[in-house]
Chains A and B, each alone.
Chain A
Amino acid sequence: QSALTQPPSASGSPGQSVTISCTGTSSDVGGYNYVSWYQQHPGKAPKLMIYEVNKRPSGVPDRFSGSKSGNTASLTVSGLQAEDEADYYCSSFTGTTLKYVFGTGTRVTVL
């Protein structure tokens, strides 16, 4: 199972928006609405930000939103803040093999 493809980096100024893509196949991203997104600050554990494509856990700001079209999912961070600078990973359930696959990761920099 190959990793989902994400851009290595993305950046924006405070207050701007940044969108990260996550491309898979019809066996994972395109086949199931079980795409989730995780934020990881250096030396910290990952934190769930989005699940089931576009749902936010309690406590996650509504500046974070998710969507999906075909085999590509996206995470948008609106109104960028300094604390949003982190690595972001997508993940998808792969029903055909009953496993999970993560994205390659995107480092978001707030300029």
Chain B
Amino acid sequence: EVKLVESGGGLAQPGGSLRLSCAASGFTFSSCKFHWVRQAPGRGLEWIAYISSSGNTIYYSDSVKGRFTISRDNAKISLYLQMNSLRAEDTAVYHCVREGADDYNFDYWGLGTLVTVSS
């Protein structure tokens, strides 16, 4: 069974930092591409970052570029999101998402971890 479990969310102050982790199981992690997608409370989904299977190709949305860093450790079967210079508008549930084998879709999602940015 494919499982993606996020952790590391919590309360952060504006300008602060948090590091999210995603533990994967039930499939060959190193062969898969991943994304982070967030959902602000009561709002829709927003794609924010992509990383290739090797980690060599990375893309970001304009809203987080320069502040967030996506990375992975294939040996630890984990995905990460380093979030710096946090803003109130970054408050959201952050989902770890696997890209489907056919590419260009999101076939498995974690339940997410809540990040709240507030003073």
Residues of A at under 8 Å CB distance from B?
A: 1, 3, 32, 34, 36, 38, 44-48, 51-52, 55, 57, 89, 91, 93, 98-105
Contact = CB atoms under 8 A, between A and B. Distances in A.
A38 B45 contact: yes
Given A47-B109, A100-B35, A36 B44 contact: no
B112 A45 contact: yes
Nearest to A4: B44
Contacts, number: 64
Nearest to A94: B47
A3 to B, nearest CB: 7
B59 interface: yes
B72 interface: no
Interface residues of B, number: 23
Interface of B: 35, 37, 44-47, 50, 59, 61-62, 95, 100, 102-112
Nearest to B104: A34
Contact of B61 (A45, A91, A99): A99
A60 B13 CA distance: 42
Contacts of A91: 45, 47, 105-106
Given A99-B59, A100-B35, A48 B105 contact: yes
- The 3 nearest A-B residue pairs measured at CB: A34-B104, A51-B105, A45-B109
